[in-house]
Amino acid sequence: MDFVSLREQYKEFVYKGFSYEVTDGMYQVTFSFEIPGLSEFETVWKFPDAGKTLDAAIFNRLLFELGMAEAISYWKVTCAPVLRVACGSLTEWQNKWWRKLFYNGLGEFMYVNGIEVSEEELLTIECEPGDDAFGGATVAGGSKIGLGRAEFDASFTGKLTDTASYSGCLVPVGGGKDSVVSMEVLRNEDVTIYRINKDATVENVLAAAERKYKTCFVNRRLDPRILEMNKRGFLNGHIPFSAVVAFSTFISAYLKGIRYIALSNESSANESTVVGSFVNHQYSKSYEFERDFMEYIDSFLDTEIRYFSLLRPLSELQIAYLFSKYTKYHKAFRSCNAGSKQGIWCCNGPKCLFVYIILSSFLTEEALVEIFGENLLNAEKCEKYFRELTGLDENKPFECVGTRSEVVMSLKKYLEKGGKALLPVKYADWLMAQSGDVDTALLEWNELHNVPEELLAVLKEEL
């Protein structure tokens, strides 16, 4: 099943709508999608009800936007040339915004699947509101809480005003070193931890913390039919999941009255994965997406809530430097996509190797082996990833890893400290001939960020 033939057979993808009910203290939201002639799909989210009196227009609009982000997971099955939005409308600028996210956010997906099209060719987004559109969010029993038809167009093409006051920080935590650093930098602030689904590593990290954090626990369930599509050979691959997280955190901040959504994405996330291209595994963690996201929110909503990355001024090296000092988390954290949910290191992929390397400048070899269970720089199985991470091979691994120069500087530091592991020694002459050093890199500061001044001062003091 290839891109061209699937688009010829399945010409349309439909974002049908969303509904929700309040049950057991949670807003259970169901998003509905369809590839006509193939399958229907549903994603279900559960958000904690904080007892807030909702502005129906704002809440419905935020839910609608989350559904647009969720559509990407199912649209990519056939890459239909038309995405029809049957439950809302978009301005011309907003329409273009979504087409950019689909294109850049699916850059890796297209690269891996050999898809070569322009942003204009990838898809057209058509909005057909109709009388039931966007007043179509319903609660249990079918009673409408959305807007009436007369108010509908204004809610979508105009700007909503959120008159509520907000305070505190919402910090998404996945159990890796980056979110641990954000937790520690903000340890004296009013922090609520944001979590998606159950994860053993997150439990271990929170247990290791010296304070008990307030939490916002949400649940997300993809339609299992998407796994069936994958098994049958339909198109599959990486999506900009952090964009989904962005809209879900905004909903949670709105419900809980939290002002700042503080991500843990560093400046290194801006580097492309494929040399000389726009293809970036971390596109939805980049500064470009962060900036675009708040511009998009501002296009329809005037609110105090702000979304930004607290760690954007820092590099992976600086984050690793800070994390090395938070020893209470060293046995609890897992920056490993394959093993995080089970609370283990797989020690068999590029992410584990990268974290081992980036920490090697600041921790002893004995401490690293105690964390990972083995010396990954001695593992021949990791040589392919070693070459990709350092830039010896052209493209980086499709993982959330730092820049090539940061990896090289870390390995040079490792050798300078007397490290004798197999892989760095094998490539020692090449490594030592490269420019840059860790000590100089630790003094850098990235000015492209959106961190509020009061939190910027806290971050600088910690560094």
Task: Please state the domain count of the chain.
Answer: 2
The β-bridge relationship of strands 26-35 and 39-48 is antiparallel
Q: Specify if 54 maps to a domain.
A: yes
* 278 shares a domain with 224: yes
Domain annotation covers residue 327: no
What's the rounded Cα separation, in Å, for the pair 52 and 307? 20
Query: Same domain, yes or no, for 16 and 56?
Result: yes
142 lies in the same domain as 258:
yes
Domain boundary among 266, 289, 309: 309
Does residue 455 fall inside a structural domain? no
pLDDT at res. 32: 96
Burial 351-383 (b: 16+ CB within 10 A, else e): bbbbbbbbbbbbbebeebeebbeebbbebeebe
* Structure confidence by residue, pLDDT tens digits, 365-405: 999 999 999 999 988 888 999 999 999 988 887 887 888 99
Contact 275/404 with Cβ under 8 angstroms?
no
271 half-sphere exposure, CB direction, 13 A CA radius: 21
pLDDT score recorded for residue 74: 98
Cα(202)–Cα(172) distance, integer angstroms: 10
Judge whether 458 lies within some domain. Answer: no
Final residue before a domain boundary, out of 309, 326, 358: 309
- CA torsion sign, 85 to 90 to 92 to 93? negative
Q: Are residues 347 and 226 in the same domain?
A: no
Domain membership flag for residue 191 = yes
Distance (Å, rounded) from C-alpha 347 to C-alpha 304?
43
369 plus 303 within the same structural domain: no
Q: What is the pLDDT of residue 340?
A: 66
Same domain for 347 and 276: no
Chain centre to alpha carbon of residue 178: 13
Residues of the chain with pLDDT under 50: 129-155
Q: What pTM did the predictor assign?
A: 0.91
In a domain, 88, yes or no: yes
How far is residue 353's CA from residue 347's CA, in Å, rounded to a whole number? 7
| Pair 14, 154 in one domain | yes
Give yes or no: residues 142 and 237 share one domain.
Answer: yes
What residues are paired with 28 via a beta bridge? 21, 46
H-type alpha helices, 145-216: 149-157, 177-185, 200-208
Rounded Cα gap, residues 6 and 18, in angstroms: 26
What are the helix (H) ranges across 80-129?
Answer: 92-105, 107-112, 119-122
Nearest to 193 by CA among 249, 267, 240, 251: 249
Burial class from Cβ neighbours inside 10 Å (0-12, 13-18, 19+) for residue 455 reads middle
- Same-domain status, 264 and 371: no
Q: Is residue 449 part of a domain?
A: no
State whether 305 and 368 are in the same domain. no
Residues 235 and 117 in one domain: yes
Determine the structural domain holding residue 141 and report its residue range.
3-309
Statement to judge: residues 233 and 375 lie in one domain:
no
**Please, are residues 10 and 36 in contact by the beta-carbon 8 Å criterion?**
yes
